[in-house]
């Protein structure tokens, strides 16, 4: 039977080369076959003589070189593909993926730091007046523009910028309520944001970190608008830095805006009725306030009627 064809990539041996007649190499002509006229018939092989082989003409050197080059190209292609597969993925990519643009920022995406800086119950107008370094805020909220009663909450700003509330205390303010243009004798407490930088009183320092002026000059006498005695009203005071020199004793008479704009406004001990312009708390709450206020937290007081503060 015919021998198998040569494997691609291997050089053909002389035995594998096709014969001129097209039959497989190594097969003899049948001795009894008819011979066409004009074709020479080779003499019969003698016993013991070597078998004759039909060989194809040898290819030229140029053809062999072309064949070797073809096999070399195929080999390089296979090796090159294998090498590329072994490289990291980034070397195989033809082009890098274009950078993606960030999605437009929305209100939900914005970190809540800005919103956390807003003090509850205080609108953007007065909230913007609170210094950025203030971490304590005493918020005094009047029931109405003409009311002499209010509530007080000491807020503390935490590390995340959020305001944390303290206890709620009852308080009194000026007899006629609140005003945005305070003047001496108008019997209205000024609306605004003011620093708290000094304290004092007739009694000894209860443990505040604020500068404390312990003096017998803190005397209160007479009666209030409702006939209540004023004795003890100045046992503890915290100066409100309205028309005064911050950091000085609460007894400092200097008034940078002039005396006509009112002066000597304090947070002091409540005497049971309206004030001339100050804010008053119970004696126990004054002690709590003094012990909590810390100049390192840059405390402020935010004071006014509810509607005005929320504007």
State residue 103's pLDDT score: 46
The pLDDT, as a whole number, for residue 77 is 43
Going from the C-alpha of 226 to that of each of 36, 152, 218, 223, 266, the distances in angstroms are 153, 22, 22, 8, 20
CA distance readout (Å), 62 to 23, 69, 73: 27, 11, 17
Low-confidence ranges of the chain (pLDDT < 70): 1-117
Phi, psi of 136 (to 5 degrees): -130, 130
> What is the pLDDT at residue 70?
39
Q: Quick one: CA torsion of 158, 162, 167, 170, rounded to 10 degrees? A: 130
Tell me how far CA of residue 236 lies from CA of 85, 198, 230, 250, 286, in angstroms.
Answer: 83, 11, 13, 11, 7
**Element spanning 194, H or E:** strand 192-195
Q: What is the DSSP letter of 260?
A: G
Q: Which two tokens stand for residue 213?
A: 């002026």
φ, ψ dihedrals at 8, nearest 5°: -65, 135
What is the per-residue pLDDT for 16? 39
Q: Give the model's pLDDT for residue 141.
A: 98
Q: Please identify which residue in the block is written with the tokens 């209860």.
A: 206
Is residue 183 within 8 Å of residue 262, measured between CB atoms? yes
Number of H helices, E strands in the chain: 6, 12
What does the chain come to in residues?
Answer: 311
For tokens 């800005």, name the residue: 114
**What pLDDT does residue 147 have?**
98
Strand order in the sheet with 136-142: 192-195, 300-305, 136-142, 149-157, 163-172, 279-281, 266-269, 237-239, 199-201, 212-214
Using alpha carbons only, what angle is made at residue 132 by residues 250 and 289, rounded to the nearest 5 degrees?
Answer: 40
pLDDT on residue 17: 39
| 166 contacts 292 by C-beta, under 8 angstroms | yes
């Amino acid at each position: 039977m015919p021998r198998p064809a040569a494997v691609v990539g291997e050089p053909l041996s002389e035995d594998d080369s096709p014969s001129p007649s097209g039959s497989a190499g190594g097969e003899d002509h049948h001795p009894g076959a008819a011979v066409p006229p004009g074709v020479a018939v080779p003499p019969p092989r003698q016993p013991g003589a070597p078998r004759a082989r039909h060989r194809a003409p040898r290819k030229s050197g140029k053809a062999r070189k072309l064949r070797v080059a073809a096999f070399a190209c195929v080999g390089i292609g296979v090796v090159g593909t294998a090498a590329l597969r072994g490289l990291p993925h980034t070397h195989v990519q033809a082009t890098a993926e274009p950078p993606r643009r960030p999605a437009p920022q929305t209100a939900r995406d914005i970190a809540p730091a800005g919103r956390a800086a807003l003090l509850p119950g205080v609108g953007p107008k007065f909230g913007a007046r609170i210094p950025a370094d203030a971490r304590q805020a005493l918020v005094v909220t009047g029931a109405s523009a003409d009311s002499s009663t209010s509530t007080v909450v000491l807020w503390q700003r935490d590390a995340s910028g959020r305001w944390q509330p303290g206890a709620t205390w009852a308080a009194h303010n000026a007899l006629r309520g609140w005003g945005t243009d305070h003047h001496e004798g108008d019997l209205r407490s000024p609306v605004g944001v003011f620093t708290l930088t000094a304290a004092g009183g007739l009694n000894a320092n209860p443990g505040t970190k604020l500068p404390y002026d312990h003096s017998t000059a803190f005397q209160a006498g007479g009666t209030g608008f409702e006939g209540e005695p004023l004795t003890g009203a100045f046992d503890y005071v915290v100066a409100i830095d309205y028309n005064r020199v911050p950091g000085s004793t609460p007894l400092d008479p200097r008034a940078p805006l002039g005396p006509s704009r009112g002066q000597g406004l304090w947070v002091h001990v409540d005497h049971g009725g309206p004030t001339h312009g100050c804010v008053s708390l119970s004696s126990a709450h004054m002690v709590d306030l003094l012990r909590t206020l810390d100049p390192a937290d840059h405390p402020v007081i935010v004071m006014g009627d509810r509607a005005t503060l929320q504007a």
